[in-house]
Amino acid sequence: MLVFVTVGSTRFDALVQAAVSEQVLDALHKKGYKRIVIQRGNSDFRREAGSNGEDLVVFEKNGLEVETWKFKSSVQSEVERADLVVSHAGAGTILDALRQGKPMIVVPNPTLLDDHQGELSSRLEALGYLTASTVDNLAATISAFDPSRLIPFPPFDGSRFRRLIDQEMGYNVNPS
């Protein structure tokens, strides 16, 4: 089983460090995960041995194969192949993963301006679409995580925006 960790286009040192920590990897291992892929963006990442600041780093730890890199033009395939997505609470990432039907644990980044990431993750958790966690709580959240209790996320409905714009621009929006 594969877990994909992503921070989008941001920097989230704490999440990246937690993702390679003993506690989190151990919790994942106990749940049956064999591989973890971490898209770390601009986050600081230091490995004890052999870290020259290179982009791609691969190693084994706590029974998991760990792979991490900074960016890819599209993380579509990583999300597709993942059995669990752990991500920063960015709207784009959340919409992407939830619409692909992936169980999600979302970690708001408290260092970002005015904590609006926290608003979204709390609300979506309250609605049952995902589970939110803090960085410190991540291992415990993973251990307690039950994807079967999550509610499927509604599919994209483009008709609302289309109608709104058509109406504003003077097109006939009434069914003929």
Partner 1 sequence: MEWGRLMSGTVLCLLISRIFLVIYRFSLRSERPLRRDTDTCSLAIFLGSGGHTAEASILLSALDFSRYCPRTYIFSEGDELSSRRVVALENAQSAKNTPLIGWSNYKLMRIPRARYVHQSSLSASFTTFKCFLACVHLITIAPLFHNVTLGKPFVDLLIMNGPGTCVPLCAAIMINRIIGLPTPKMVFVESFARVQSISQSGKLLLYIVDRFIVQWPEQIALTGDRGEYHGWLV
Of 77, 81, 116, 152, which one interacts with partner 1 (CB under 8 A)? 116
Task: Work out whether 77 is an interface residue with partner 1 (CB under 8 A).
Answer: no
Of 78, 96, 141, 150, which one interacts with partner 1 (CB under 8 A)? 96
Say how far apart CA 138 and CA 154 lie, in whole Å. Answer: 26
Residue 86 is encoded by which pair of tokens? 């752990």
x/- track of binding to partner 1 for residues 7-46 (CB under 8 A): -xxx------------------------------------
Cβ 123 to partner 1 shortest distance, Å = 5
C-alpha torsion 104→22→137→69, nearest 10: -40
How far CA 91 is from CA of 8, 17, 46, 96, in Å, comes to 10, 22, 28, 8
Supply angle C-alpha 134, 40, 38, rounded to 5.
Answer: 80
Cβ 71 to partner 1 shortest distance, Å = 8
| Cβ distance to partner 1 smaller for residue 48 or 114 | 114
**Dihedral sign, Cα of residue 29, residue 30, residue 32, residue 37:** negative
Of 63, 92, 101, 147, which one interacts with partner 1 (CB under 8 A)? 92
Which residues of this protein are in contact with partner 1, per CB under 8 A?
8-10, 73-74, 89-93, 95-96, 114, 116-117, 119-120, 122-123, 154, 156-162, 164-165, 168-172
